Homo-oligomer: A and B are copies of this chain.
Amino acid sequence: MAVRESFLEGAISELGTDEVYWIKDIVVAVTGENMEVMKSIIQKYQHKRISLVEAGVTRHRSIFSGLKALAEDQLNSKLSKPEVVIIHDAVRPFVEEDVLLKVVTAAKEHGAAGAIRPLVSTVISPSADGCLDHSLERARHRASEMPQAFLFDVIYEAYQQCTDYDLEFGTECLQLALKYCRTKAKLVEGSPDLWKVTYKRDLYAAESIIKEIISQEICVVMDSKEDNKHVGHLLEEVLKSELNHVKVTSEALCLAGRHLQQIILDQCYNFVCVNVMTSDFQETQKLLSMLEESNLSILYPVVVVSVHFLDFKLVPPSQKMENLMQIKEFSKKVKERNILLYGLLISYPQDEQKLQESLRQGAIIIASLVKERNSGLIGQLLIA
């Protein structure tokens, strides 16, 4: 479960980065037992906007704690009362900026707003003896999801007015705003991404979604920009035609690495490093140094495939492999920085058609490595 949870930690932590710049403060309600772990996560990801409050025993009590922290003028507090507050669940890590904007805009107009989704199953009401009492018409009901947004004064007033019974057994903030402030929330259609990571299968789904997102771009790094006949360009072409939905770019390390720096800043998580002009691992080692210096791999593992070419007819692969075995040691070192390094030896026959076939095999292997991010296979030298 460690890998899965660390993937999810990355996704949740993205919310704390600078991405949604117009959110000023983020208050997270955390149970006492998890307070230290949470503090260390904040430190690890260097979150600047997050404050912590102690969670209550129920959902509503936790939210109330968060609101109090924002409402009260406390000495030494960097928090101040906002006009609008968004309430969100950490178990919905895939929320898009778009829906956050929508609920905030609607809350400014209506006082309250929340995301909804169509019901997946029919909802029924059981009688006391465990039999069907009645079923609800599915088309007339919706699932209430998060995020929700409120004028701060509306929702804070509602929480101050509401009863202990509400705080103990209630589940719906929109209902509190309706009941205690007569504020009718605007309902906003949300996307399927807002689902709640509840069961083990949801952790599986979350991991796969994250892997899919970070596999959308592959950068082919080669040791010469000028040469159009560089075999790296041939590999780039084959990658483009084999991987339909993946953006494949190429960049040369030798050009002082300016563009490459930008690609790393733009969060490309996959690099194919072609070593042709230079000795075995020179190019790959330069790239690894750049990646280690950047903070790229802090959220998710970065895949680096070190590619080498050889005419198997002229030199048996075993001979070249001897040199390339050192990749195992490199891979152990960079694994500590969350970089997954694999080797790939591609057959480079003189025959044009056979070359295309071995490049295609190479592309399939690269696609597999990028898709699975299998840490058990780092340091392996694969052969296409």
Asked if B123 contacts A187 (CB within 8 A), the reply is no
From A139, A328, A377, name the one whose CB has the most chain B CB atoms within 10 angstroms: A377
> How many copies of the chain does the oligomer comprise?
2
Asked if B383 contacts A187 (CB within 8 A), the reply is no
Query: In the bound complex, what is the Cα–Cα distance between A316 and B318 (angstroms)?
Result: 9
Given contacts A124-B142, A321-B321, contact A185 B380 (CB under 8 A): no
Query: In the bound complex, what is the Cα–Cα distance between A364 and B134 (angstroms)?
Result: 53
Q: What residue of chain B has the Cβ atom nearest to residue A377's Cβ?
A: B368
Distance between A344 CB and nearest chain B CB, rounded to angstroms: 10
Query: In the bound complex, what is the Cα–Cα distance between A380 and B199 (angstroms)?
Result: 35
Asked if B196 contacts A201 (CB within 8 A), the reply is no
The reply to whether the CB of A122 lies closer than 8 angstroms to some CB of chain B is yes
Tier of interface size on chain A = 35 or more
> Which B residues lie within 8 Å of A124 (CB)?
116, 141-144, 172, 174, 187
Asked if A178 contacts B132 (CB within 8 A), the reply is yes
Q: What residue of chain B has the Cβ atom nearest to residue A188's Cβ?
A: B130
Q: Tell me which residues from 338 to 384 in chain A have a Cβ below 8 Å from any Cβ of chain B.
A: 364-365, 367-369, 371-372, 374-377, 380-383
The reply to whether the CB of A184 lies closer than 8 angstroms to some CB of chain B is yes
The reply to whether the CB of A32 lies closer than 8 angstroms to some CB of chain B is no
The reply to whether the CB of A34 lies closer than 8 angstroms to some CB of chain B is no
Given contacts A121-B143, A124-B174, A208-B208, 5 further A-B contacts (CB under 8 A): A117-B121, A124-B172, A126-B142, A328-B383, A364-B376
The interface of chain A, by Cβ under 8 A from chain B, is: 110, 112, 114, 116-117, 119-127, 130-132, 134-136, 138-145, 169, 171-172, 174-175, 178, 184-187, 192, 195-196, 198-202, 204-209, 316-319, 321-322, 325, 328, 364-365, 367-369, 371-372, 374-377, 380-383
Closest 5 CB pairs of A and B: A368-B376, A318-B318, A204-B208, A201-B205, A121-B143
